[in-house]
Amino acid sequence: MSTPCGCGSQNTCSGITIQPIVHAPWITGIVATTVGLIPTISTKLTRSDRLSALKMRLGIGRMKYKIPPGLYAAGRPAATSPVLVTANYKLSFDRLRMHLSAFNAWILVLDTNGINVWCAAGKGTFGTAELINRIRITKLEQLISHRKLILPQLAAPGVAAHLVKEATGFNVKYGPVYAHDLPDYFRNDSRIKPGMRRVHFPLRDRLALIPMELMPALKYIPVFIAWLIIVQLLRDHHLSFKILTELIPYFAAIFCGSVLFQILLPWLPFRSFIINSWLLTIIFITTLGVLFAVDWSSFLPLLFILPPISAYLAVNFTGSTTFTSLSGVKKELAWGIPVIIISIISGMIIQFVSII
């Protein structure tokens, strides 16, 4: 990313704002405007875009997926064309542009540190200040003849529409939650149907979040191995590969708390994540125990150790769901964490007692 002119931190020169030149496969050209050179972008996602989306979901090299903030052009927008605002996280940007192939629009990308719209809005980075700042830096009022900005609805936790209007004269209009509703929105004269204002959490979205639940959970495996080594040394006075079979129930707990719970979430009977996952894990490991005809005396400590592990993993999913409140999470953790700790310690005690 190069700055063609060396003057000032806002890259202004003779009153013309020069946006740093961006080189990327999704840039198809450049359009010269009254406020400088604006990159035009492709509205078709490529295999490389889909591959990078997969990597983002797996948490691989995420910081590579920040795009430079500023103005971009989709199609051949004019001064009367709509302005759509988004975050500088590539997945957000891609999800927006892929629905714009039939339209001419300006895209104003805010600097949200590469974080998606909703998270950034909650943190304040997709915020009133950044929006006002970006409007000023890009000299948007010189480019656009109207005074309307279309924001994704989920930017609202961070943006006070009335304050943006006071500071810049631009009216913030909250568009649909999902970019895929934009074509319908545009074709119906910016009419929002009530369904466009609701957030959903379908299976597909829950599945997409599983890798970022499962992978952090795997870091507990060495802890489980260390525990099993201690138990085995105390019990058998030597180490053997039996440890590997003894690990299987722990993998089951990880599976229950980071995968199965997430899949079954809407069908679980209780509201509490800890209670739901605790029950789910008991049912799952008991079923496995029956199927593999385990020795029930060695099963007892597991009944105290595995469900809390799974519950701890499951309650951490609250940060990725679309419906859990801070007050609810605090309430759940207030009793849940002590119960988890007590249960694990009890299980460890039962295990030691059974060895003596």
Using CB under 8 A as the binding rule, whether residue 240 contacts another protein is answered as no
Tokens of 195: 């369904």
Using CB under 8 A as the binding rule, whether residue 160 contacts another protein is answered as yes
Q: Closer to another protein at the Cβ: 43 or 52?
A: 52
Q: How far is the CB of 77 from another protein (least distance, A)?
A: 25
31: three-class secondary structure by DSSP: strand
Q: Contacting another protein (CB under 8 A), which of 177, 252, 305, 309?
A: 177
Q: Which stretch binds another protein (CB under 8 A): 21-29, 222-230, 253-261, 324-332?
A: 324-332
Q: Closer to another protein at the Cβ: 284 or 312?
A: 312
| Alpha-carbon span 327 to 228, nearest angstrom | 37
- Which amino acid, 210? I
Nearest by Cα to 155 from 177, 135, 138: 177
- Which amino acid, 319? G
| Alpha-carbon span 175 to 173, nearest angstrom | 6
Helices (H), 32-127: 47-57, 90-97, 117-123
The interface mask with another protein, positions 273-302, x = CB under 8 A, is x-----------------------------
CA distances from 348 to 225, 255, 342 (A): 14, 21, 10
Using CB under 8 A as the binding rule, whether residue 346 contacts another protein is answered as no
Q: Which stretch binds another protein (CB under 8 A): 138-146, 183-191, 195-203, 239-247?
A: 195-203
Map 138-171 to HEC letters. HCHHHHCCCCEEEECHHHCCCCCHHHHHHHHCCE
Q: Which stretch binds another protein (CB under 8 A): 133-141, 228-236, 245-253, 315-323?
A: 315-323
Q: Closer to another protein at the Cβ: 57 or 136?
A: 57
Size of the site for another protein (CB under 8 A): 59
Tokens of 134: 């970006």
Beta bridge partners of 174: 151
| Alpha-carbon span 351 to 314, nearest angstrom | 24
Tokens of 177: 């939650």
Contact 117, 133 (CB under 8 A): no
Residue 199 CB coordination number (10 Å): 12
Using CB under 8 A as the binding rule, whether residue 59 contacts another protein is answered as yes
Q: Contacting another protein (CB under 8 A), which of 13, 157, 286, 300?
A: 157
Beta bridge partners of 30: 39
Using CB under 8 A as the binding rule, whether residue 68 contacts another protein is answered as no
Q: How far is the CB of 136 from another protein (least distance, A)?
A: 21
Q: How far is the CB of 119 from another protein (least distance, A)?
A: 6
Q: Closer to another protein at the Cβ: 63 or 293?
A: 63
Site for another protein in 199-238 (CB under 8 A): 199, 201, 209, 212-213, 216
Using CB under 8 A as the binding rule, whether residue 354 contacts another protein is answered as no
Residue 136's Cβ-count burial label (10 Å; 0-12, 13-18, 19+) is middle
Using CB under 8 A as the binding rule, whether residue 154 contacts another protein is answered as yes
Using CB under 8 A as the binding rule, whether residue 171 contacts another protein is answered as no
Using CB under 8 A as the binding rule, whether residue 158 contacts another protein is answered as yes
**Chain residues that interact with another protein, rule: CB under 8 A:** 59, 62-63, 66, 113-116, 118-119, 121-123, 153-154, 156-162, 174, 177, 192, 194, 197-199, 201, 209, 212-213, 216, 265-267, 271-273, 315-316, 318-333, 337
